[in-house]
Homo-oligomer: A and B are copies of this chain.
Amino acid sequence: MEQDLTSLAAAVAELQASVSAINGTFAETFYYLTIPLMVLIHVGFLAYEMGASRSKNALASGIKNILAFAMIVPFFYFVGWWIYWAFPTGLTLSEGAMGISGIAYANSIALPWSEYMGPNLDDRSSGVFWGAFVLFAATTASIMSGGVIERIKLTGFVVLAIILGAFVWILAGAWGWHADGWLVTQFGYHDFGAAGVVHMIAGFFTLGVLINLGPRIGKFNADGSANHIAGHSMPMTLIGLMLIIAGFWGFLMGCVIVPGEAWSWSGTIEGTIYGTPMTISGMTFNTLMGFAGGIIGAWMVTRDPFWMMSGALGGIISCAAGLDLWYPPMAFMIGFIGASAMPFVATFIEKRGIDDAVGAFAVHGFLGMWGLLAVGIAAQGYPALFGEDVITTSFTGQLVGAVVMALLGFVPGYVVSFVLKVTGQLRVPEEAEILGLDAVKVPANAYPEGLHASVSPAE
């Protein structure tokens, strides 16, 4: 029997190793898969923005987008990741209660010469987490990208994209999307799906840039009334937007902490990034319901396919902060309300002389804010952190968070674009804008032959 016990103990030890291995491989794969899905977001943004540009600017819009994605990667490697771990408690660089923040912690795990910043057989999570965050960063920059098309200078844009993607959003993430983040620990800020830290930040940053960038030539008439400047291919734009929806599911996976790892909050259930328990299953209900509500709301208000697909995004964004919490019909309503209001917000800022080419502020800035406040209105009193006797969600907390996100997005966007403007790096020359950016800047042609009818259509 002694022997039985020994062999049983060996079997148990072997099982423990095996379970640990499968947990690790599963978690690694889970976050890895967020990346190709989020690359689909970028395929989508590429199609969307090229389609939303007039053909004379289509390639310039694409180049901008591709280059921003590329630039963010090394900046996020060298700086962004470190910021996320260093700044949660504010600007003091001190360690927070969970012990996963502050300068010492950041130095140990996120400096480029840290053992965790490259292949390491003893670390099967840093690379995939970092990768998911890089894609979040690139997504944040792409949100701005659409609003500023057809007149921004490539240099200026790339600087803005790097600042937004590798500095601003990740500071917002440290503050509001981290268990030691001061917005969370002090205000119970709850932002499961990054409505504030990604969407508001990107939307308000864009607003700040647009003020300095100014409208496209021809956007406004002498009397201040606005013209609609349509892109050259609405089908390309719609296909792009639907691809973003496909990729959105990867983005949301990246907001979940899976159980069973040493770094997991729980051994048995998924958590939010704050450690509060949630399920992927529940999030699925709400994502689909918010998506549907957003499309239907935008359709009822506009009948316009561009706004319908923007409403699909907008519906999910409206629900994003509380995707772990909503009752699904509530998610439908929150998406519906948000997306119904969205076109009016777009018109409102247009009336103020701001030319947001794709409604980036209305979709991301405004609806991200609506998402945060909706949690404050309808999901108060949930624990905001892992553990017992913790701070809970509240309207105040969400409001404080929304104000911080608005400012943290707007101010750097405004200031940096102002500096770029003053130094002549923000906007292309008038002649280039009129001639088209592709003709002036791009050694290639979007449609070299144009397209001419080869047979007459049946009708």
Contact = CB atoms under 8 A, between A and B. Distances in A.
Interface stretch (A97-105, A126-134, A177-185, A368-376): A126-134
A5 B55 CA distance: 75
**Residue among A58, A70, A231 with the highest chain B CB neighbour number at 10 A:** A70
Contacts of A66: 238, 242, 295, 305, 308-309, 312
Contacts of A445: 230, 234, 454-455
A386 interface: no
B77 A446 contact: no
A264 to B, nearest CB: 9
A30 interface: yes
Interface in A246-282: 246-250, 253, 258-260, 267-270, 277-282
A55 B453 CA distance: 11
B280 A39 contact: no
B450 A451 contact: yes
A25 B448 contact: no
Contacts of A258: 25, 29
Interface in A37-71: 37, 39-40, 42-43, 46-47, 50-51, 54-56, 58-59, 62-63, 66-67, 69-71
A284 B18 contact: no
A235 B121 contact: no
Contacts of A451: 55, 232, 447, 450-451
A418 interface: no
A4 interface: yes
B131 A289 contact: no
A8 interface: yes
A286 B74 CA distance: 11
A414 interface: no
A11 B21 contact: no
**Residue among A30, A71, A234, A327 with the highest chain B CB neighbour number at 10 A:** A234
Contact of A242 (B39, B74, B306): B39
Contacts of A8: 5, 8-9, 12
A445 B452 CA distance: 12
B448 A21 contact: no
Contact of A291 (B73, B118, B236, B305): B73
A443 interface: yes
Interface of chain A, main secondary structure? helix
A36 B284 contact: no
Given A74-B332, A295-B67, A325-B119, A32 B280 contact: yes
Interface stretch (A167-175, A194-202, A296-304, A419-427): A296-304
B259 A25 contact: yes
A279 B28 contact: yes
Contact of A459 (B19, B121, B294, B434): B434
A55 B452 CA distance: 10
A381 interface: no
A243 interface: yes
Given A268-B20, A303-B443, A43 B239 contact: yes
B35 A249 contact: yes
A422 to B, nearest CB: 26
A124 B281 contact: yes
Interface in A302-351: 302-306, 308-309, 312, 324-329, 332
B18 A329 contact: no
Nearest to A231: B448
Contact of A281 (B2, B125, B239): B125
8 A-B pairs closest in CB distance: A119-B282, A127-B281, A450-B453, A73-B292, A70-B295, A36-B249, A39-B246, A230-B448
20 contacts: A8-B9, A11-B12, A18-B260, A21-B269, A35-B284, A43-B243, A46-B242, A66-B305, A73-B289, A73-B291, A112-B329, A118-B286, A123-B279, A127-B281, A128-B281, A229-B457, A232-B451, A234-B447, A439-B454, A450-B452
Given A25-B26, A35-B288, 7 more contacts: A12-B15, A18-B19, A18-B260, A28-B279, A40-B246, A123-B279, A235-B446
